Amino acid sequence: AAEAAEAAEAAEAAEAALLAASPDGWLRSILDELQQSVEELSPASARRLRAELARDHTPFAPAWRASFADVTAHGVCGVCGADLSAGPLVPAQRARLREGLLAAAAARGPLHGLALRAFGEWVSRRGYKYVVDGANVAYRNQNYDGGRFSLEQVGLLLDELRRRSGGAAPLLVLPKVYLTARLVPNHTQPRVVPSKERAAYSAAEAAIAKRLRGSEHVWAVPDGSNDDWYWMLAN
C-alpha cells in the first residue's frame, strides 16, 4: 500500500512539473491519453471539455479553445484547417474489426474462415512493424494506357521498408496468383480486350516473384479469398 501511495505521489508530482513547465505539453498528454482510452467522447463530456478550456483562469487561455467541428473525408478540421492525424483503434474496436473480418471470411466458405484465422494466429506472433498490401502497391499510379501490375514497385517498397527498420523485413500480403501464375491478372488494361487482361512478368519481375516465393515474410492469400482481410487483420 505504501509503495502504491508513493507511486501515485510521484505521478502527481511529475504531472504538476509538466503542467508548470509546459501547459501545452500537459494538455497534449491528457488529450493523447483520452484518445487512446476512450472509444467515443459523449456529447456531455465534449461540452464539459469545451467549457473547461474556455475558462479564463486555466493555464491554456487564450492559446487553447475547444469547438465542435466537422471533419472532411480527408481528415481536415473544419474550424482550424489542420490535418488531423488518424488515431489508433482502441481495444474494443480492434476486437470488433477482427470478428468482422473472420465472419466475412467464414461467410465466403469454411476454408476461407479457417485460413484467415490461421493467418491471424501466425502473424500475432511475428511482431511486424510494416505490413504491405502488395496488390495495392503494384497497381499504384498504373491507371494509364499501358499501365500494368508492377511487381518491381513492390520490390522497391519492401527494400525501402527494410532499410527504414534497420534490416527487419516487412510482411507482404499478396494474392497467390501473383506469385505462381505464368500470366498474372492485369486489370488496369481495358477489360474489353481479353488478350490484355493477363500479362507475363518481365525478367526482373520474374526474379522478384521467385525470391518472394521463397521468403518467410510473404503470405500468399488463397484463391477466392479477399487479400484485404489479411492485411487488415495483421494491422
- CB burial of 59-88 (b: ≥16 within 10 Å; e: otherwise) equals ebeeeeebeeeeeeeeeeeeeeeeeeeeee
Residue corresponding to grid cell 507482404: 172
DSSP E strands in the chain: the ranges are 131-133, 171-175, 183-185, 198-200, 218-221
Helix 151-164 crosses helix 203-213 at what angle (to 10 degrees)?
Answer: 50
For the chain, report the end-to-end CA distance as a whole number of angstroms: 39
pLDDT reported for residue 62: 55
pLDDT digits (tens, 9 = 90+) for 139-150: 888 777 666 788
**Average pLDDT value for residue range 7-22:** 63
pLDDT reported for residue 122: 96
pLDDT reported for residue 101: 97
Phi, psi of 233 (to 5 degrees): -65, -35
State how beta strands 131-133 and 171-175 pair: parallel
Share of the chain residues as helix, strand and coil, in percent rounded to the nearest 5:
55, 10, 35
State how beta strands 131-133 and 218-221 pair: unpaired
Residue 196 per-residue DSSP state: G
Of 92, 101, 95, 51, nearest in space to 231 by CA: 101
Low-confidence winner among 21-25, 153-157, 191-195 (lowest mean pLDDT): 191-195
**Mean of the per-residue pLDDT values of the chain:** 82
Of 174, 200, 172, 173, nearest in space to 185 by CA: 200
Instruction: Note whether 18 and 29 are within 8 A (CB).
Output: yes
DSSP E strands in 80-197: the ranges are 131-133, 171-175, 183-185
**Average pLDDT value for residue range 16-41:** 69
Instruction: Note whether 90 and 38 are within 8 A (CB).
Output: yes
pLDDT reported for residue 188: 41
Residue 20 predicted with pLDDT over 60? no
pLDDT above 70 covers a percentage of the chain that reads 77
Q: Is 54 helix (H, G, I), strand (E, B) or coil?
A: helix
Residue 19 predicted with pLDDT over 60? no
pLDDT reported for residue 18: 56
**Average pLDDT value for residue range 15-26:** 62
**Average pLDDT value for residue range 162-186:** 88
pLDDT digits (tens, 9 = 90+) for 175-219: 998 888 777 776 544 343 344 566 778 888 889 999 999 999 999
Grid cell, residue 129, equals 512493424
pLDDT reported for residue 196: 52
